[in-house]
Amino acid sequence: MANDIITQLQARNETLTQAIARYGSLNASTLHTLSFEQTKITRLTQQLANSALRREENDKQRAGLLEKTQTFAGQFGKLLNVETPDWKLPYEFQGNMVDMAAKGGMDNTARDALSLNIRDWSLDFNQDQKDLQSAAATMIEGGVSALQDLSRYMPDIAKAATASRDSAQSWAQAALATRDKLNIAPDDFRFAQNMLYSVAKSGGGSVAEQTQWINAFARKTGTQGKEGIAELTATMQIAMKNAPDAGAAAANFDHFLKSTFSKETDSWFARQGVDLQGSLLEHQQNGIGVTEAMAHIVQMQLEKMNPQILDTFRQTMKIEDLSARGDALQAMTEKFNLGAMFGDAQTRDFLAPMLANMDEYRQLKASAMQAAGKILLMMTSPRK
């Protein structure tokens, strides 16, 4: 803008110079007026030019300082092994809050309150704000959208993510699984957390793996509450003894459950004089879950058939190589004519470790129940 004014003044000065040249010899008064105006314009032009130069120099200095500051910030960040701030994050955070509120049917007041809570929880429990927001979004998508319920779950999720190796996202998924599949109330979630953490800490499977097992089998086994967690996590750990990974263990257990309630299995036991479904019901009335009940029924039947079978199972399960053990189990099935009883190889592959480790199964259940009442995860803010 200053350059435009200077250009205009220079043009005016040129016009006055030409006028003086034309009228200077005609009228002294007119000449004096024109000369005075030209002097003012020349002085003003020079002042504006000097001001523009100073402004340009200041802009250069400001740009240089800004560049040095940014460079220093980057170097300082590298020195402390931290990244320079991403100035887009606050806008992304607020945008995500708007999306979450829309999905959860929140009004602006509830949305803003949750936003502030997430920031406070991230500071209180040393969690990344984005991670906690993502965990909250998972809860909302899973049907937990009331601010009161989120305020019950989220602090425990943040605390557990800080104290364990599992992420806030994994703990949010666990919260939904225990709520939806096991009917565990928000206020009791921390007891479930202690149980899941205890299993994970002892090497029995990550929280994410346990959550997948709960989602897959809670309803199929009819388990509920903390007892359901104890039964399912113990089953998972036993199944893993005869499987290469959690997926294979889950497939074996799924086949076992299908066989337990199949007409073919009912018919086989009926031919042996056993009312399978009636026996299962009797076990359950005595507080024994379907998995342990079926394993016990099979155990009693094998003892009737040949006492050597169970001992052979235990010896076979001691074979470390999984492939060699599988071959030995197949040979044993053929030797004792157990194919019709087990139905298929995957059912057998689940029953084998169960029959060989029934005492350990019961101990794992008991340990999980004991963990529920212990303070295994730090349940207070590090800042308190």
Residue range 123-141, pLDDT digits in tens? 999 999 999 999 999 999 9
For the ranges 38-42, 109-113, 340-344, the lowest mean pLDDT is seen at 38-42
User: Is the pLDDT at 41 greater than 70, yes or no?
Assistant: no
pLDDT at 282: 95
Mean of pLDDT values over 363-377:
89
Q: How confident is the model at residue 339 (pLDDT cuts 50, 70, 90)?
A: confident
Output 303-311 pairs: Cβ under 8 A, ≥24 positions apart.
Answer: 304/272, 305/336, 306/336, 309/336, 309/338, 310/355
Tokens at residue 25, please?
A: 């010899």
Residues in CB range of 243: below 8 A, 6 or more apart: 249, 252, 349
Number of C-beta neighbours around residue 338 at 10 A:
20
pLDDT at 375: 74
Mean of pLDDT values over 286-300:
95
Mean of pLDDT values over 377-381:
53
Mean of pLDDT values over 54-59:
60
pLDDT at 10: 59
Output 2-5 pairs: Cβ under 8 A, ≥24 positions apart.
Answer: 2/48, 2/51, 2/52, 2/55, 3/52, 5/48
Q: How confident is the model at residue 349 (pLDDT cuts 50, 70, 90)?
A: very high
User: Is the pLDDT at 320 greater than 90, yes or no?
Assistant: yes
Residue type, 97: M
User: Is the pLDDT at 86 greater than 70, yes or no?
Assistant: no
- Tell me which residue of 178, 106, 163 sits closest to 117, measured CA to CA: 106
User: Is the pLDDT at 367 greater than 80, yes or no?
Assistant: yes
User: Is the pLDDT at 302 greater than 70, yes or no?
Assistant: yes
Q: Tell me how long the chain is.
A: 384
Separation between Cα atoms, residue 273 and residue 266, nearest integer Å: 11
> With pLDDT > 90 as the criterion, what percentage of the chain qualifies?
67
Mean of pLDDT values over 173-182:
98
Q: Does residue 134 contact residue 169 with C-beta atoms inside 8 Å? A: yes
Separation between Cα atoms, residue 235 and residue 241, nearest integer Å: 10
| Radius of gyration of the chain from its Cα atoms, rounded to whole angstroms | 39
236: buried, middle or exposed (CB in 10 Å: 19+, 13-18, 0-12)?
A: buried
User: Is the pLDDT at 330 greater than 60, yes or no?
Assistant: yes
Q: Reduce the DSSP state of residue 111 to 3 states and report it.
A: helix
Instruction: Read off the pTM.
Output: 0.74
